[in-house]
Chains A and B, each alone.
Chain A
Amino acid sequence: MGRYETVIGLEVHAQLATQSKLFCSCSNRFGDEPNVNVCAVCSGMPGVLPVLNEKAVEYACKMAMAIDCAINERSIFARKNYFYPDLPKGYQISQFETPLAERGKVRITVGAAEKVIGVTRIHLEDDAGKLIHSPAENVSRVDLNRSGTPLIEIVSEPDLRGAEEAVAYLKELRAILVYLGICDGNMEEGSFRCDANVSLRPAGQEQFGTRAELKNMNSFRHVQKAIEYEVARQADLLDDGEQVIQETRLYDADKGVTVSMRGKEQAHDYRYFPDPDLPPIVVAKEKLAALRAGLPELPRAKRERFVADCGIPAQDALVLTQEKELADYFEAALAAGADPKKAANWIMTEFLRELNQAGLAPGAAKMTPEKLAALIKLIDSGAISGKIGKQIFPDLFTSGDDPGAYVAAKGLAQISDASALEAAVDAALAESQAEVAAFKGGKTKLMGFFVGLVMKKTKGQANPGLVNELLAKKLG
């Protein structure tokens, strides 16, 4: 597909993790029974009025600052009008002509390359409710718990050039939101969602091709697959001399394809106009300064610090920082005295594997960072071998046992006593007369065979350095 250049712009919706909804005092909690977090305002009863949640504005401003947007002195709420049963007012309260913030940028890393992606705007809006379809009963029900949940929409410039860049951009945005503590970033539950505008243009052409808008992608993998499919589909059309139609397409995760949902002519005319119920958002300069002063360390800064201070490779730092909880875990392990490089390796291999298998978040692991640090220290001090460490890791992860106590109870301590090992070495050599002769004849590679034999006899507990030393002496 080198003939075409892929052009992608993303619209990201992030639910803000405020206590209450954007325009009423209902709880903003996910997962409750349908229609319990609902009042006259978020169910669109006659005569009720919205009152802006100041916390949501603060959260949105934090995001704007984190990605270097200019925050407008006055921004305006506008009504986006359309009919749907999950939209009780018949309009969404959003922002149109004057959004909260504009002109930001997000730096992404794809492989070894760095790239800056432009952000067109960030605006505040309220979420719709949800329809629950019951085909068996032939009914659809409306759940308004989500109605009125605060969202920010983050619109990127069409700066992304492929699925990989799109996913890297999304991961970076998500990480920033979670670091700021303003969004839980859960894609499956829909608190972090994205639509992708995808188009192709002949390589070297400046003018954009016709785009399709992709919806219904509930994971980074879906985003990747949907864009890849769409790029291939559009390339096939163009190859055949056909036109790409401007339309909205839904990603079907089961089939791995995108399917037309509605064309341009069925597109809504949202009839935006300024919401007369809400005055402009004006955030005082002092408030903005206080918010800026309170910004936490963001993923990129943390990454750079890990590379500079801990001497770990940039790629490892990226893996460790994409989930804030994992970065916190890593830092806690260092604070408990673990060697940074070793901690990074253990976390990225054993710990992440177990974590994914168990489907847990880092903070929920019974194996706390302190316990991981203790395990690493047991290996560093020679108390157990690295091999034993790996063997017992799944057990320690699941049980949350203290590594020192576990090793003692199971008698797994490394044998570092020469006199205790000598018998095993002698026995091993006695069993392998032929190999000993061959070794002495110059086949020095057989050293590994002898070490393995001693290890087997000591159930892996022998100190490998000491075994090597003893063998060398006896064979020399």
Chain B
Amino acid sequence: MSDLHLLNLTQVRDLLARGEIKAQEAVAACLGRIHDTEPKISALLSVQGEQALDAAKSLDAAGPDTDKPLWGVPIVVKDAICAKHAPTTCASRILENFVPFYDACAVARLRAAGAIILGKSNMDEFAMGSSTENSAFGPTANPWDLSRVPGGSSGGSAASVAARQCYGALGTDTGGSIRQPASFCGVVGLKPTYGRVSRFGLVAYGSSLDQIGPMARTPLDCAALLSVIAGHDPADSTSAAVPAPDYEAAVAARADLTGLRLGLPEQFWGEGVDPEVRDACRAAVDAAEKLGAKVVDVSLPHTPYAVAAYYIVAMAEASSNLARFDGVRYGYRDPSAGDLAGLYEKSRGAGFGDEVKRRIVLGTYVLSAGYYDAYYRKAAQARELLRRDFTAAFERCDLLCGPAAPFTAFGLGEKKDDPLQMYLSDIFTISLNLAGLPGLSLPVGLGRDSRLPVGLQLFGPAFGEDVILGAAEALSQALPSLPLPRGIAAA
């Protein structure tokens, strides 16, 4: 089957399960597609081709296994997530040669479910950025327009899924790093509830905000991935002891949106949103109403404090989380170090990129003696107020929605030297990280001017992933599907 790569995750999964195609064929289709498209988009930092084919061979030898829900399905993993025997660089020089001897919990669960790890995807260094331009190993291009960014920080995963290099990918989301690139690349990306997916093996950026989540071409595909990776993990003390349902079954159970109360927070629909983005999202809301959803106007009054609170918390945590990259035990060590101070200064000075250093410095500052109360403590308070906003809103509606990002994919280099502009691209996503809530970006069409994908963010109460995924799948069925991305159409 020559167009195997065009299938969705659940479609190929079903073919594999029925023995109609072999795992090796699925892997070969993806590797072929990687070969064809990678020169244009640079979505991956490493490809584990041989390991993937070996794994497929073993699976094929044993035959399909109904106990393995992702039997033979090739998956890409963001390079912030540890996968045994594969480099895990976080797109940083400081981890350039780091190969972990352990799998992240999510990766181990994928493997146990029969999935095959194809490669590790590009990202902003240590997940710090919104364009994947902060990768030490070069940017990724948006498959829709190669002169544009794929978003970030999970830009490599989003671009890889959009370019049909894989059937699904893992991303990580600290402030929007799954949802914003999903929006820019026209794929589906879900940030689960904090604690839904184990963070074990995810190289920490902002530990109280980070979540691993699925990225794929349909909400149903994301549901299939989430069913495998969700659930309590004793190795992560912040993972929730809440049973994970069969998300795919939950999605299948919902045919339309009858009775769904869909809230539109005023702060997400006003100033600062590109008109083409707002209109595309509004059209999707209209479609939802036609499917039976009841639209409710709500307010999240503390939204204006989210960006500031987010950057204080994230940078403070990052300044501590990145202290372990010191050149002592692993990673980059400057050979001319001299004394101990030199070892730290030179290794970290050369190992980290500018944005990482900026965030470490700012995070160190906000935690310093005399500033803690003014910054970190205030941010923690703002966070609590945001949580209450959401609690109040979810008393009046089942889901909320708004644009996933205020604009469509911007040009490579366009915002690179303006960190504040870059930070604002997360304006609609970060509140959910601060409140620990789940959110999904669903492609709802192309902007009428830019002809680039627009994502609608659907978000819900804690552990409401089943409702979000079900509504997203129902809504996506009612919307025209996107064509193949233009930038790699010829590939």
Contacts and interface: CB of A to CB of B under 8 A. Distances in A.
Looking at B90, B95, B100, which has the most chain A CB atoms within 10 Å of its CB?
B100
B238 A81 contact: no
Contacts of A269: 368-369
Contact of A273 (B80, B235, B320): B320
A50 B82 CA distance: 16
Given A47-B200, A48-B200, A83 B238 contact: no
B324 A88 contact: yes
B200 A49 contact: yes
Interface in A47-102: 47-52, 79, 81, 83, 85, 88-91
A271 interface: yes
Given A46-B88, A88-B329, A81 B344 contact: no
A271 B101 CA distance: 31
Nearest to A85: B328
Interface in A124-147: 142
Contacts of A47: 80-82, 88, 100, 104, 199-204
Interface stretch (A245-253, A274-282, A325-333): A274-282
Contacts of B319: 81, 271
Given A48-B200, A277-B237, A91 B104 contact: no
A310 interface: no
B173 to A, nearest CB: 16
Contact of B324 (A50, A90, A142): A90
B90 A89 contact: no
Interface stretch (A37-45, A106-114, A258-266, A449-457): A37-45
B323 A50 contact: no
Nearest to B348: A83
B215 interface: no
Nearest to A79: B320
Nearest to A51: B237
A277 B206 CA distance: 10
Nearest to B376: A273
B104 A273 contact: no
Looking at A47, A50, A91, A142, which has the most chain B CB atoms within 10 Å of its CB?
A47
A271 B102 CA distance: 30
B236 interface: yes
A51 to B, nearest CB: 6
B207 interface: yes
Interface in B61-100: 80-82, 88, 90, 95, 98, 100
B102 A40 contact: yes
Contacts of B364: 271
A83 B320 contact: no
A91 B235 CA distance: 20
Nearest to A77: B237
B410 interface: no
A4 to B, nearest CB: 31
Interface in B338-356: 340, 344
B326 A273 contact: no
Given A85-B340, A279-B237, A49 B326 contact: no
B208 interface: yes
A89 to B, nearest CB: 5
Interface of A: 40, 43-52, 79, 81, 83, 85, 88-91, 142, 269, 271-273, 276-279
